[in-house]
Amino acid sequence: MTPVMVVFGLLGVVVILTALGMLLSRNAIYSALFLVLNFATVAVLYIILGAPFISLVQITVYAGSIMVMFLFVIMLLGAERLPGSDRLRRQRWIAAILGLVFVAQVILFIFFRGQLTAPVGTPPATLGSPQAVGTTLFTTYALPFEVTGAILVVATVGAILLTRGAALPYSPIRKEEK
């Protein structure tokens, strides 16, 4: 029982509990806050795995901007408490049981097949550093990086166009209603 194992166990418990909390809480704002904690915990796992750049991107992009966007939309719509509909009562249990079966399969496979028991060694500190990531991103993966920028621009334009609503006479959403 090394200290790293204890830390990993604690982080894993927090990850699973926050995911369960997101799944089970009735209030959507609580779900979002649980998910923020989940992302932050996974960021700590990234640091353990020797990926500091990805870890900080995780905190700023995921736990920061994406979840703020979620919270903003939840509060804007006032949709934090929806009355639960009971139409899928039976399917709910089937989903949970099938999920449990899948997790059991994966874990049994991992521990009885024994292929993945090799330890994750300590990567050199230069592997996941911002300098290494940036160099790789702008040399080997320059074209995918530019495509990513194009995707973000398209998504931004699309989001703005979708939410402008009835103010535009040529809005794609409202066109068929007129």
Show contacts with other proteins in window 104-123 (CB under 8 A): 106-107, 110-111, 116-123
> Residues binding other proteins: what is the number (CB under 8 A)?
88
16, containing H or E segment: helix 3-24
CB of 178 to other proteins, least distance (A): 14
Q: Would you say the C-alpha torsion 76, 80, 86, 92 has a positive or negative sign? A: positive
From the CB of 18, what's the least distance to other proteins, in Å?
9
> Comparing C-alpha atoms, which of 12, 26, 23, 174 is closest to residue 107?
12
Sign of the torsion angle spanned by Cα atoms 136, 140, 146, 151:
negative
CA–CA gap between residue 26 and residue 42 (Å, rounded): 24
> Considering only residues 37, 56, 59, 133, which one is a binding residue for other proteins as defined by CB under 8 A?
133
How far apart are alpha carbons 160 and 167 in whole angstroms? 12
Binding-site string for other proteins from residue 12 to residue 51, where x marks contact by CB under 8 A and - marks none: x--xx--xx-xx----x--xx--x--xx--x--xx-xxxx
Task: Classify 106 in phi/psi space as left (phi over 0), alpha (psi -120 to 50) or beta.
Answer: alpha
Q: Could you say which of 10, 124, 146, 175 contacts other proteins (CB under 8 A)?
A: 124
Q: Which of 125, 142, 144, 175 contacts other proteins by CB under 8 A?
A: 144
Query: Which residues fall within 8 angstroms of residue 36, CB to CB, at 6 or more apart?
Result: 63, 67
Measured from the CB of residue 32, what is the shortest distance to other proteins in angstroms?
7
Binder of other proteins out of 10, 125, 127, 168 (CB under 8 A): 127
Distances (CA, A) of 29 to 22, 62, 83, 118: 9, 16, 15, 40
Binding mask of the shown chain, residues 51 to 90, with x at each position contacting other proteins by CB under 8 A: x-xx--xx--xx--xx--xx--xx-xx-x--xxxx-xx--
130 binds other proteins (CB under 8 A): no
Q: Give min distance, CB of 92 to other proteins, in A.
A: 5
